[in-house]
Amino acid sequence: MTATLADIPVSELKGVGAALEKKLHNLGIQNLQDLLFHLPLRYQDRTRIIPIGSLRPGDESVIEGEVKVADISKGRRRSLLCRIQDGTGTMTLRFFHFSAAQKNNLKPGIRIRCFGETRTGPSGLEIVHPEYKRVDSDDLVPVEEHLTPVYPTTEGLHQGRLRALTEQALAYLKRGALQELVPEALRENWQFPGLVDAVAYLHRPPVDADQHLLLEGLHPAQRRLAFEELLAHHLSLLKLRQKTRKKGAPELSGSGELKQQFLDQLPFPLTGAQQRVSEEVSQDLALAFPMLRLVQGDVGSGKTVVAALAAIQSVESGLQAAVMAPTEILAEQHFINFTNWLEPLGVKVAWLAGKLKGKQRQAQLEAIRSGEARVVVGTHALFQEEVVFSDLGLVVIDEQHRFGVHQRLSLREKGRNGELAPHQLIMTATPIPRTLTMSAYADLDCSIIDELPPGRTPVNTVVIADSRREEVMQRVRSACAEKRQVYWVCTLIEESEALQCQAAEVTAEELKQALPELRVGLVHGRMKPAEKAEIMQQFKSAELDLLVATTVIEVGVDVPNASVMIIENPERLGLAQLHQLRGRVGRGSVESFCVLMYHAPLSNQGRERLTVMRETTDGFRIAEKDLELRGPGEVLGTRQTGVMQFKMADLQRDSDLLTRVKTVAGQMEQWPDHAESLVQRWLGRGEDYGNV
């Protein structure tokens, strides 16, 4: 059997010793397959000689000419200047690093061929540090026959070396040593080239290649590989889903009595969207394998009620439910809501967070272990080994993107004796663009609460420079005079929580002096949970007019009478976070405002962000723009986990491929070996994130 490229280590290539092998390993290149899937970032056109007279600044080109003069310039920085001429024009070659021998070799009258980027210099066009070689006037020295690839590289590994190594690997490619892993039956009707042709083309595009398509990543050869990479990611997530589902889960049917009591005591009816999503969740919970469902709903759409109904179904079936949130303030808010809703029905709710210590903590742990606590609310403290559940049936995770995939999966081990996995309900108020849902959350079923409760009014968003601070304060004064309440949010300063809290304290003091008739409160991340809860309660019960806060109030705080929010330096925040903050107002029926008070000058991206916020309150449109501006890694919060690092694919550019990817992934169950090899080819050891 022919060895595949994945079986041939790079050390087999001519010229690869231990030191070079280590550098290649740093780039994730272990074997020849890795080397050929280490694709160029861009290309240089060295296939033709360009007349000097037609060059423009920014052009990367090959030129050829006769040396007229070579002199050392002793200006601000010593450099070797060489003037060359080709009959259409003259230009300068500038070298900051040079030797005496180099100067002597560049004699007037010799002919040289150079490659580099043209720029404007002190005396016309110049190229700094061009690649060059001497050519004899009588010889016709051939130019390159294909576009020259420029690869991602690492220190001490030059482009020339990478090109020489890929040249060797391409020779193996011609012997048919790269396996086509997408079966032929699934490749029918598609317009993409074969895998071997696509890889060869991208390493050595011909002279007539469409450079614009290559630059945009839209060439059929690139799309062929992007498709395969997206397919590999999708297959790895499906594998993860199958692995979780193999465990089996408790069937949570419940009598429905507790559920009806809960609905009867709610001061509002469920929206149609809440009813639909609750029904989808309820049906999943009754199955004998773990529910893996993502519920998306914009700020204020009522996801917590859906979570409470799921928790009640678990309790009615004799099992526990755990509700986990990424911050203490959001976890506290859930604890208060669940306690108010469930304890009147005779359901004990426990609370567990990192700051809970000593006897209090032990008491909560015991209530969880014994099963006395039927619902447990907490932060990531719930992951800890010492937290033992009596019989866990359901895990609700709020704002999943704040937790790593690992953390979400580790909770499945907390099920019954480690044999049955708990059902998982994942919620987010950060709308996730469809492209990300289909790729990053392929292991989850998705539900969307696409309806806001009646009586909600859209928030008017105003963008204003901080030079108009006095005007903004007057707006605060008049809102409070009308018995409305106001948030004033101080955003992060240089990633320092201490400085952020300090800024909030200074702002609170300044506002107290400027608006002495108002009752001003302050809440920030360094306060004790009890202090924060007390201030929030005072604001909720209208004992405070104005609440100065850091971004800790981003999620989970519900004060219907608050109708104005001022956000200082909004340009420092991502769109999703701004949208979350704005969602704290407009929760009642009165007209609400969000004032984005920026500090000039704004960057282009900052201006784009604020424009989007002013133009729309549609969370999904904001999420799409956030994806465009920040990229999938940041939007998902997975930059550290490496889950979404694509080599070839781009989720936005290639979003049209995702529906096809999903279909083909489902069909590849018939070829499990191919599916496994595809995941290995594109994700390698990175696929371990699924094996928690």
Asked if residue 176 and residue 65 are part of one domain, the reply reads: no
pLDDT at 514: 93
CA 466 to chain centre: 30
pLDDT of residue 638: 44
Residue 585: its pLDDT value, please? 87
pLDDT (0 to 100) of residue 652: 75
Distance CA 646, CA 228 (A): 11
Place of tokens 């004064």: 477
What range defines the domain where residue 55 resides?
Answer: 48-143
Nearest alpha-carbon partner for 319 in 390, 409, 242? 390
For residues 135 and 321, the model is more confident at 321
Question: Quick one: tokens of 322?
Answer: 């755990």
Query: Does the pLDDT value for residue 346 go beyond 90?
Result: yes
Task: Name the most confidently modeled range: 186-195, 360-369, 518-527.
Answer: 360-369
| Same domain as 74, residue 203 | no
Same domain, yes or no: 201 and 117: no
**Do 58 and 205 fall into the same domain?**
no
Residue 391 phi, psi (nearest 5): -160, 95
pLDDT tens-digit profile of 47-93? 889 999 999 998 889 999 999 999 888 877 888 999 999 989 999 99
pLDDT tens digits for range 306-328: 999 999 999 999 999 999 988 77
Strands of 485-489's sheet, edge to edge? 459-465, 592-598, 562-568, 485-489, 546-549, 520-523
**d(C-alpha 303, C-alpha 342), whole Å:** 16
Supply the pLDDT for residue 353: 83
Residue closest to 56 by CA, chosen among 126, 114, 152, 130 = 126
Specify whether 59 is located in the same domain as 184.
no
d(CA 32, CA 6) in angstroms, rounded, equals 6
Structural domain count, the chain: 3
| The two three-digit tokens of residue 152, written as one number | 């991602």
- Yes or no: say if 574 and 634 are a contact pair by the CB < 8 Å rule: yes
pLDDT, tens digit (0-9, with 9 covering 90-100), for 527-557: 887 788 788 889 988 999 999 988 766 555 6
Task: Give the chain's mean pLDDT.
Answer: 85
Name the band, by pLDDT with cuts 50, 70 and 90, for residue 212: confident
Phi, psi of 404 (to 5 degrees): -70, 160
Beta-strand relationship, 131-134 and 292-297: unpaired
| Of residues 440 and 203, more confidently modeled | 203
Residue 360, in any domain of the structure? no
Are 77 and 171 part of one and the same domain? no
Look at residue 492 in the predicted model and tell me its pLDDT: 62
Do 175 and 34 share a domain, yes or no? yes
Percent of the chain with pLDDT over 70: 89
pLDDT recorded at residue 685:
52
Question: Which has more pLDDT, 306 or 357?
Answer: 306
Q: Is the pLDDT of residue 497 over 70?
A: no
Q: Which of 389, 426, 392, 388 is nearest to 407 (CA)?
A: 426
CA distances from 13 to 26, 28, 162, 175, 330 (A): 17, 16, 12, 16, 56
With a cut of 80, say whether residue 637 has pLDDT above it: no
User: The whole model's pTM is what?
Assistant: 0.67
58 in the same domain as 34 = no
β-pairing verdict for 111-121 and 131-134? antiparallel
**CA–CA distance, 296 with 318 (Å, rounded to integer):** 28
Instruction: For helices 658-667 and 220-246, give the axis angle rounded to 10 degrees.
Output: 50
Which residue is associated with the tokens 């060439």?
A: 219
pLDDT tens digits for 561-586? 899 999 998 988 888 788 888 888 88
According to the model, what pLDDT value does residue 13 have? 92
563 burial level (CB within 10 Å; 0-12, 13-18, 19+): buried
Name the DSSP letter for residue 617. -
Give the span between the Cα atoms of 468 and 471, in whole angstroms.
5
185 and 59 within one domain: no
606 in the same domain as 471: yes
91, 28: one domain: no
How high is the pLDDT of residue 534?
85
- Domain of 104, CATH number, reads 2.40.50.140
**What's the pLDDT at 500?**
61
